[in-house]
Amino acid sequence: MYLNPRPSIEDLDVIYPENYYTLSGTGGLVARLQRVWEKGKVDGYRHVVGDGRRRILDVGCGDGRFLGVLEAFGPKEWEVVGIDFDSDAVEKCRAAGYTAYKKRVEDFEEGANSFDAVIMLQLIEHVADPLETSRKIFDLLKPGGVFVVETPNLAGIDYRLFKDRCWAHYHFPRHWNLFSTDSLHRMLEKAGYEVVRTDHLMSTSAWTISLYNYFLDRGLPGWFVRFFSYKNPFLLGIFVTLDTVRTKMGRETSNQRVIGRKPL
């Protein structure tokens, strides 16, 4: 599924302003729960990336927050590097002591076979040509290296309930391409990868933002609509539980992780 028409590449600074919500962190209980979840995420990466000296690129690194997560919970031998097109975010990343490049990954000029892993979290849906981007990353990877992709999934209860109009993962006009698990597999295989792992993930913000959109669309009072914030810890608890149960049962959710490996 793709957005048509879409903004041009020259409009990126307009559709991602300085107050874009993903550039601002969460706090309190939500941040603590997020930290626990992300530790588990990095533990999962270790199984496919491996311990020992590894060079890892975080595409869309922002201010380096997830580089810090990788550094805190991954093996000490991992070398983490970031790339982002936002100048202020990259400067914050560098100020925190990380190596970071200011550019789009499509224009990244690092040599071939440079990384053991490339991580792209909730970003491939934003790029102009996800197949070409995947091929670019394929070239950056060493033989046996892995490409970790987390992106919305055209599945789950929230997708079925809200797909006609209010589903959060449409995220107009920023999400340009959306995938089912099957279509994501096909794209990665077309780019040369072997798909080695697929996971269904919690998608808590999709639930709350979809409900926010639904009630806003129906003209309900602002105080009621604002209750459905993606930072609301009460709603977080409900939807974490719901999506966790579904993942334990092997059911799809509206968030997914697919890992492709570059053949040796």
* pLDDT, position 166: 96
* pLDDT, position 30: 60
Residues 92-120 pLDDT 10s: 999 999 999 998 888 888 877 889 999 99
* pLDDT, position 21: 61
Distance CA 1, CA 254 (A): 14
| Residue 236 pLDDT > 70 | yes
Kindly report which listed range (138-147, 169-178, 208-217, 226-235) carries the lowest average pLDDT score: 226-235
Residues 6-15 pLDDT 10s: 988 888 878 8
Domains and their CATH numbers in the chain: 9-152+176-202+256-261 (3.40.50.150)
Distance CA 184, CA 194 (A): 12
* pLDDT, position 23: 46
Residues 199-230 pLDDT 10s: 999 887 899 999 999 999 999 999 999 999 98
The backbone torsions φ and ψ at residue 54, rounded to the nearest 5 degrees and listed phi first, read -140, 145
Where residue 156 falls (left for φ over 0; alpha for ψ -120 to 50; beta otherwise) is left
Residues 15-61 pLDDT 10s: 887 777 654 455 555 666 677 778 888 888 888 998 899 999 999 99
Q: Which of 236, 259, 22 is nearest to 151 (CA)?
A: 259
| Residue 259 pLDDT > 80 | yes
- Are the C-beta atoms of residues 233 and 30 closer than 8 Å to each other? yes
Distance CA 204, CA 206 (A): 5
pLDDT band at 121 (very low <50, low <70, confident <90, very high): very high
Degrees, nearest 5: CA angle 73-78-83: 95
More confident: 113 or 145: 145
Mean pLDDT of the chain: 90
* pLDDT, position 29: 56
Q: What is the pTM of this model?
A: 0.90
Which residues fall within 8 angstroms of residue 27, CB to CB, at 6 or more apart? 231
**Is residue 119 within a helix (H) or strand (E), and if so which, with residue range?**
strand 115-121
- Are the C-beta atoms of residues 223 and 186 closer than 8 Å to each other? no
Distance CA 92, CA 248 (A): 38
Tokens of 124: 């491939």
In the chain, % helix, strand, coil (3-state, to 5) comes to 45, 20, 35
Q: Which of 45, 75, 39 is nearest to 58 (CA)?
A: 45
Q: Give bridge partners of residue 149 from the DSSP assignment.
A: 120, 258
DSSP string covering 47-109, please?
Answer: HHH-SSSEEEEEET-TTSHHHHHHHHHS-TTEEEEEEES-HHHHHHHHHTT-EEEES-GGG--
